[in-house]
Chain A
Amino acid sequence: MAAGDLEVRGLGMQFEGLSALSDVSLRVPAGEIHGLIGPNGAGKTTLFNCLTGFYRPTAGGVWLSSDRIDGFAPHEISAAGVSRTFQNIRLFSNMTTIENVLVASHRRIGGGTGYQTLNRRERYILIDKMRIPVRVPMALAAGLAEIAGAIVRPPAARRHERDAVERGQQLLKSAGLGGRENVVARNLPYGDQRRLEIARALATGPRLLLLDEPTAGMNPQESSAMVALIRRIRDEFDTTIVLIEHQMRVVMGVCEQITVLDYGRKISEGTPAQVQKDARVVEAYLGTRALKEGGHATP
């Protein structure tokens, strides 16, 4: 697999008795814009939560550039190169736009620009070898060094911070938020908040970007601006993008491949044109009788 390839194999997510996802598999080659659609409650956001470590999937696995990433904590998965936005905007609303972006670039401030590889087997070996007597003092020393660095603020740290701010400003500019660095996030207009979420997600330096309904609540003009932004991000930042979307105009316009979920299962996949014609997809959205009689959908 190339860097940035996403592979999901047999993913399942069980909440007590409720099966939110079962046996979902999909492949997204690096650099693709992939759509994830399905009726409400189909498990789209649950899938995102599994990919980013917010949920720990109960079956199957997730690979990013041949690293297995499921089962790790969200911040570790973020370090491996997965980032996301949220359906209901979740900015750090009392922080300024630039601060929002800087929080996300936290890991990249002061060295450490490479992706962290998360290989489960290696990880266990590492833990075996370096048990608590070594790991805890190491973590303490690292913490102490970080605190000392923050207090003393050596020239290198200042430079790193300045670089991060510059990078953040650049990022805001390319997300269309140039010149609004010091606006408190919650005072931004709605569309700008969505754009800031994307800028923040990009600041972690992702290879895979997950967008949860990026055009929700937008009018047609704003939506098409968002579509253009998504395309530009793919080209400029060289990321693979998976997006959940309800507006079919957007899905058909921007996605190269589409996966359709219903009741936690994958029911169809293919190009937008293929998916549109798929009988199972029409059924899922409109009901069985719609297909048979062309009448009203009933449960």
Chain B
Amino acid sequence: MLESVRPGVPRLPEWAHALIFLIVGLLGWYFLDDTWVRMLFLVTLYATLGMGLNVVVGLAGLLDLGFVAFFATGAYVVAIWGAPISPSVDGVVNYWVLLPMAVFAGAGIGMLLGLPVLPLRGDYLAIVTLGFGEIIRILALNMDDYTRGSSGIFALAKPDYGAETVDSVREFFIMILIAAMAVWFVTARLRDSKVGRAWEAIREDEDVAQGMGINTVRYKLMAFAIGASIGALGGAIYAPFVDFVAPAQFSLIVSINVLALVIIGGMGNTTGVIAGSAMLIGVPELLQFQETADVLAKFEWLRDGLNVFIDGFNAVSFADLGKLPPSEEWGDKLALYRFIVFGALLVMVMVLRPSGLFPSRRRELEFTAEEPAPAGSA
């Protein structure tokens, strides 16, 4: 419906974006080695989490800083009922039973969070959700009888198919890829339905939305539940992948990362979420790879060139900046300082593209100045 808003910019349809993502993922899966596929797994996992948070923050406009709570819920459901070691449950439940259980538990926890924060808006909502995320982590830390506290739960039941079990990085990557595509489809369908329209109306003006007949309680809870169940789905796939679930994995930084990748990518848009995930999760990983170092080692000529500049600068300014290290060492240095590079990237994106890498059409509108309406664009 918004296609004609900026008639000058041709865009690929959303399914084409999804197809490109799928093909890139599968090519990576086929050609790259395990370290790289592990990176792809993390990127896709965080993209999936981002799609979930996007429903809450991007569509319904509810700023949630405690998204990690739902991720933890999913992981712990799978761990408590799926690991022989867990102290409270005897026996092991099949993973494929646990997965929907985790999703529904996530939805339940999401609504549990949603209920008390219904009247809260903006900053207040952010603070309370932030606290909620911490509460879940601290609960997990202290409920030794269920979670084994900080020692964590390991040796989880793995998902199986036929006689095989999913236990390699490559198999888990396929699993998360399928989950990501499913979540993409579900969130896109919801966004384009009257549910999505109700969310957007709430985001625009909650009071007016209610005045126009939208049951805001119902739709806000729905947004929390759906976002949370997607978070739990991510947790339920992540848990058997790392085969270890402990409170330390569910710190605030996870929530911040997911929120940051949604904002960097362009809020409200799934393609943006994936781009954001690739940048925020993928790039820091990438900088540690031997392959990156190998490529950088080939840039000895660049080092020579830059050193000439530095020498020149030193001569003029009486400073002594020394010389760049040989390019074989660049990879190590970059791995060491990857978070500085990463921070610089973040700042760069936010300065150059304040509405994100791939903003949704609507966000793009919000960030552009008023322009005359195209007449009769129907």
Residues on B with C-beta less than 8 A from A201 are: 212
Known contacts A106-B198, A151-B186, A182-B2, A90 near B205 by CB under 8 Å: yes
Stretch of A21-29, A94-102, A216-224 that contacts chain B: A94-102
Could you say which residues of chain A place their CB within 8 Å of the CB of B1?
A: 96, 98-99, 182
Are B214 and A103 in contact, CB atoms less than 8 angstroms apart?
A: yes
Task: Identify which of B225, B362, B372, B373 gathers the most chain A CB atoms within 10 Å of its CB.
Answer: B373
**A150 partner, pick from B190, B212, B215, beta carbons under 8 A:** B190
The answer to whether the Cβ of B11 comes within 8 Å of any Cβ in the partner chain is no
Contact A187 B373 (CB under 8 A): yes
By the criterion CB–CB under 8 Å, are A109 and B194 in contact? yes
Q: For residues 1 through 28 of chain B, which have their beta carbon under 8 Å from a beta carbon of chain A?
A: 1-5
Nearest A residue to B200 by beta-carbon distance? A95
Contact (Cβ within 8 A) A92 B205: yes
Residue pair A104, B213 in contact (C-beta under 8 Å): yes
Give the docked Cα–Cα distance between A108 and B34 (Å): 53
Q: Using an 8 Å CB-CB cutoff, how does the interface string of A56-93 with B read, 1 for contact, 0 for none?
A: 00000000000000000111001100011010001011
CB distance from A115 to the nearest CB of B (A): 11
Is residue A54 contacting chain B, with contact meaning CB distance below 8 A? yes
CB closest chain-A residue, reference B211: A74
A183 at the binding interface (Cβ < 8 Å):
yes
Residues of B within 8 A of A259 (CB): none
The yes or no answer to A215 lying at the interface (CB within 8 A) is: no
Q: Known interface pairs A180-B373, A182-B4, A182-B377. Does A94 touch B212 (Cβ–Cβ under 8 Å)?
A: no
Q: Taking A180-B378, A184-B373, A187-B371 as contacts, is the C-beta distance between A107 and B362 under 8 angstroms?
A: no
Complex-state Cα separation, A195 to B342, whole angstroms: 49
Whether B204 contacts A94 by the Cβ 8 Å rule is: yes
**Chain A residues touching B, range:** 35 or more
Query: Taking the nearest CB of chain B, how far is it from the CB of A4, in angstroms?
Result: 18
B376 contacts A179, CB within 8 Å? yes
A188 within 8 A of B: yes
CA distance A104 to B211 in the complex (A): 9
Label chain B's interface by main secondary structure: helix
Question: B378 contacts A204, CB within 8 Å?
Answer: no
> A117 to chain B: closest CB distance in Å?
15
Interface digits, A139-181 against B, CB 8 Å rule (1 contact, 0 not)? 1000100110111010001000100000000000000000111
CB-CB nearest in chain B for A104: B212
From A78, A84, A150, A186, B194 is in contact (CB under 8 Å) with: A150
Chain B residue numbers with a CB within 8 Å of A34 are none
Kindly provide the distance from the CB of A72 to the nearest chain B CB, expressed in whole angstroms: 11
Chain A contacts for B378, CB-based, 8 A: 179-182
Known contacts: A102-B194, A179-B376, A186-B370. The answer to whether A78 contacts B213 by CB under 8 A is yes
Residue of B201, B207, B208, B209 contacting most chain A CB atoms (<10 Å): B208
Which residues between 261 and 313 of chain B lie within 8 Å of chain A, taking CB atoms? Answer: none
CB–CB A106/B212 < 8 A? yes
Inter-chain CA distance A149–B195, complex, in Å, is 10
Chain B residues within 8 Å of A102, by CB: 194, 197
Residue A200 lies at the interface, judged by CB distance under 8 Å to chain B:
yes
- Known: A92-B204, A103-B197, A151-B190. Contact between A52 and B373, CB under 8 A? no
Residues of B within 8 A of A109 (CB): 194
> In whole angstroms, what is the CA distance A251 to B7 when docked?
43
Known: A54-B211, A75-B214. A153 touches B204 (CB 8 A): no
Q: Are B365 and A79 in contact (CB under 8 A)?
A: no
Q: From residue B378, how far is it (CB to closest CB) to chain A in Å?
A: 5
* Residues of A close to B374: CB separation below 8 A: 183
Q: Which chain A residues lie closer than 8 Å to B210 at the CB level?
A: 73-75, 78
Q: How far does the Cβ of B11 sit from chain A's closest Cβ, in whole Å? A: 15
Residue of B nearest to A90 (CB): B208
Within 8 Å of chain A (Cβ to Cβ): is B222?
A: yes
Contact A95 B195 (CB under 8 A): no
Query: Quick one: which of B5, B196, B213, B222 contacts A204, CB cutoff 8 A?
Result: B213
Least CB separation from B185: chain A residue:
A151
Chain A residues with CB under 8 Å of B251's CB are none
The answer to whether B193 touches A103, judged by C-beta atoms less than 8 angstroms apart, is no
Asked whether A106 and B211 contact (CB < 8 A) given A95-B204, A180-B376, the answer is: no
Residues of A within 8 A of B333 (CB): none
Which of A99, A143, A181 contacts B222, CB < 8 Å? A143
* Bound CA span A133–B204, Å: 34
In the assembled complex, the CB of B136 is this many whole angstroms from the nearest CB of chain A, namely: 22
Determine if B373 and A78 form an interchain contact, defined as CB atoms under 8 angstroms apart. Answer: no
Cβ–Cβ < 8 Å partners of A94 in chain B: 204, 362, 365-366
Chain B residues within an 8 Å CB radius of A78:
210-213
Nearest-CB residue, chain A, relative to B208: A90
Given known A54-B211, A147-B226, contact A93–B204 (CB-CB < 8 A): yes
Q: List 20 A-B contacts (CB under 8 A).
A: A73-B215, A83-B211, A84-B211, A92-B208, A94-B204, A99-B197, A102-B194, A106-B213, A106-B214, A150-B190, A151-B185, A151-B186, A161-B194, A180-B375, A182-B1, A182-B5, A184-B5, A187-B370, A187-B372, A204-B213
Supply 10 further A-B pairs (C-beta < 8 A) apart from A75-B212, A95-B201: A52-B211, A53-B211, A83-B211, A92-B208, A92-B209, A96-B2, A106-B194, A150-B190, A161-B194, A183-B377
Nearest 7 interchain pairs by C-beta: A150-B193, A78-B213, A187-B373, A92-B204, A104-B212, A103-B201, A74-B210
